[in-house]
Amino acid sequence: MTSPLKTEGGGASVVVDGDKESAKESQTAQVEGRSPGRLMWIRFKRDRTGVISAYVVGFFFLIGLLAPLISKLYGKDPYTVYADERPELFDSAGVPVQPNGGISGDFWFGLEPGNGYDVFTKLIYGIRTSLMISLAVTVAVVLTGILLGVTAGYLGGKADFFIGRVIDFLLAIPAQLFFIASMPVVVSLFVSPRDETPTYVRVVALIAVQWALGWMSLGRILRGTTLSLREREFIEAAKVSGASSRRIIGKEILPNVVTPLLVQSTYLLPNFVTAEAGLSFLGVGIVEPTPDWGQMFSKASTELVLQNDLTYMFFPGVSMIIFVVAFNLLGDSVRDAFDPKSAR
């Protein structure tokens, strides 16, 4: 339910503060011989919350990356139907007969009601799927944001007006309704209805629809930053000295928008994770048997789980809360590291 605009509200002031600051910093850097990046790094390392959050976030990415290896060591995979393999562990409706969702030495996080998938491997593979998708959306959004935001801000005039109207239009689209409506269409673009829909098609479709409505806030922020940079002396100087637009954008503007870019990206990624999970929850994202974080929530909201197995829903639920909290704290720390003044 989090509107992507929210990050914009919080971020707008950061941007303006941010570039004033970076200019000051570059002066300090000459005196002390430290680059702004290094300064930021030093400040970040001093922030204990930030460092811990970074470790937690890193841990999640590591789990996602190493999911196949972990499940190999653990000796199970998320596709085995334990309700048929080990029927003694389930009743006829597929609910684990052991208390607490069938948690045991064999099944660390228990078994999923229904087909009896192993929850532990399903969760780590689910994290892998969700993070992969969200990371791809973030990259796509950042690239689009840079391209359109910086273009609009630097060129101004008609381009700015046009991109601005496109942003206005896209912001008026009810995002969730649009996702639901467009997922089947986008999937059908990739695959004829006769063939099996491979998982990657759903993944690509999810990335595409979230990207289409995800880049506007970042685009606006970058436009604003670029707009204010354009009027600054060092850009004027570069222009006067005859540098090409390409060079100015590449050498002068881009390095100066890295700060808001990085801060915004750390706020955007968890939003994309929860939005992707929401779509799978509604049944238009990733579907069984492909493990996915959101799809586990969808399972958790079925009668079967609600009636019989409360334990199950805590694994996707708690892990996602930890992930989102850690990522948001990390975002705050990154922002503070860039801009000590805004520490709250």
Partner 1 sequence: MLTGCSSGGSKGSSDNNKKDKANAERQQALIKFGDAAASTGPAAEVPGAKSGGTMELLERDSPAHLDPAQIYTFDEMTLTQVIHRGLTGYKATSNDGGKHEVVGDLATDSGTVSDGGRTWKYTLKDGIKFQDGSPITSKDVRHSFERLFAPFITKGPTYVQQWMADTAGTDYRKLLPDGPYKGKHLPDSILETPDDKTVIFHFKKPVADLPYALGMTGYAMVEAKGDTKEKYDRAPAAAGPYKIQSFKSGKSMVLVKNDQWDPKTDPIRNQYVDEFNITFNQQYETSTKALLADSGADQTGASLQNGVDAGNLSKVLSDPKLKSRTVSGYQPYVGRININMSKPEMKDKKVREAIAYALPVTPFVRAFGGDAAMEVAGGLISPTVSGYDPTFDPFGKKKKPAGDPVKAKKLLEEAGKVGMKLTFAYINTSEGQQYSTAMAEGLKKAGFDVQRQEVPSSNWFDQVGKINNNYDIFHTSWGADWPSGQAVFPPTVDGRLIADGGSNYTQVNDPHVNSEIDRINAITDPVKAATEWAKLDKYLLTEVVYAVPTAYYKQVAIAGSKVGGLVYDDVIGGVDARRLYIK
Partner 2 sequence: MLRFLIRRTLGAVVILFLLSIVTFLLFFGMPRDPALMMCGKACTPANIENIHHVLGLDKSIPEQYWTFLHNIVLGSDAFTQGPCPAPCFGYSYNTNEAVWPTLMDRLPTTVSLTLGAACVFLLVGLGTGLLAAWKRGTLIDKTFTAGSMVISSMQIYFLGPLVLAVFVYQSHLFDKPAYNPFTADPVNWFSGLIIPWVVLSTIFAAQYTRMARSSMVEQLQEEHVRTARAKGMSRRYVFFRYAWRGSLIPIVTIFGIDLGSLLGGAVITEYTFGLPGLGQLAVQSVAFSDLPLLLGVMLFAATMILLFNIIVDTCYAFIDPRVRLA
* 48 touching partner 2, by CB under 8 A: no
Nearer to partner 2 (CB atom), residue 222 or residue 284:
284
Tokens 């229904």 locate to 114
The correct pick among 136, 221, 329, 337 for binding partner 2 (CB under 8 A) is 329
Q: Which residues are CB-contacts of 340 (< 8 A; sequence separation ≥ 6)? A: 43
* 48 touching partner 1, by CB under 8 A: no
Distance CA 297, CA 287 (A): 12
Positions 275 through 334 that interact with partner 1 (CB under 8 A): 283, 287-289, 298, 302-304, 307-311
* 164 touching partner 1, by CB under 8 A: no
Q: Give the DSSP per-residue string, 127-189.
A: HHHHHHHHHHHHHHHHHHIIIIIIHHHHH-HHHHHHHHHHHHHHHHS-HHHHHHHHHHHHHHH
Nearest to 267 by CA among 224, 219, 326, 220: 326
Nearest to 1 by CA among 288, 281, 312, 287: 281
> In the bound complex, what is the minimum distance in angstroms from residue 275's beta carbon to partner 1?
21
Contact assessment for residue 273 and residue 61, using Cβ atoms and an 8 Å cutoff: no
Tokens 């999810």 locate to 206
The one of partner 2, partner 1, none whose footprint includes residue 114, by CB under 5 to 8 A per kind, is: partner 1
Contact assessment for residue 168 and residue 295, using Cβ atoms and an 8 Å cutoff: no
Render the burial of 251-271: b for 16+ CB within 10 Å, e for the rest.
ebbeebbebbbbbbbbbbbbb
The correct pick among 36, 64, 114, 291 for binding partner 1 (CB under 8 A) is 114
> In the bound complex, what is the minimum distance in angstroms from residue 147's beta carbon to partner 2?
22
* 317 touching partner 2, by CB under 8 A: yes
The one of partner 2, partner 1, none whose footprint includes residue 236, by CB under 5 to 8 A per kind, is: none
The correct pick among 12, 52, 76, 80 for binding partner 1 (CB under 8 A) is 80
> In the bound complex, what is the minimum distance in angstroms from residue 34's beta carbon to partner 2?
27
Positions 242 through 271 that interact with partner 2 (CB under 8 A): 270
* 188 touching partner 1, by CB under 8 A: no
* 196 touching partner 1, by CB under 8 A: yes
Rounded alpha-carbon distances, angstroms, from residue 282 to 1, 6, 64, 271, 320: 13, 23, 23, 17, 17
Tokens 């069938």 locate to 102
Q: Where do contacts with partner 1 occur on this chain (CB under 8 A)?
A: 79-81, 83-84, 87, 90-101, 113-115, 184, 194-197, 283, 287-289, 298, 302-304, 307-311
Q: Where do contacts with partner 2 occur on this chain (CB under 8 A)?
A: 1-3, 5-6, 9-10, 13, 168-169, 171-178, 180-182, 184-185, 187-189, 193, 270, 274, 277-278, 281-282, 284, 294, 297-298, 300-301, 305-307, 310, 313, 316-317, 320-321, 324-325, 328-329, 344
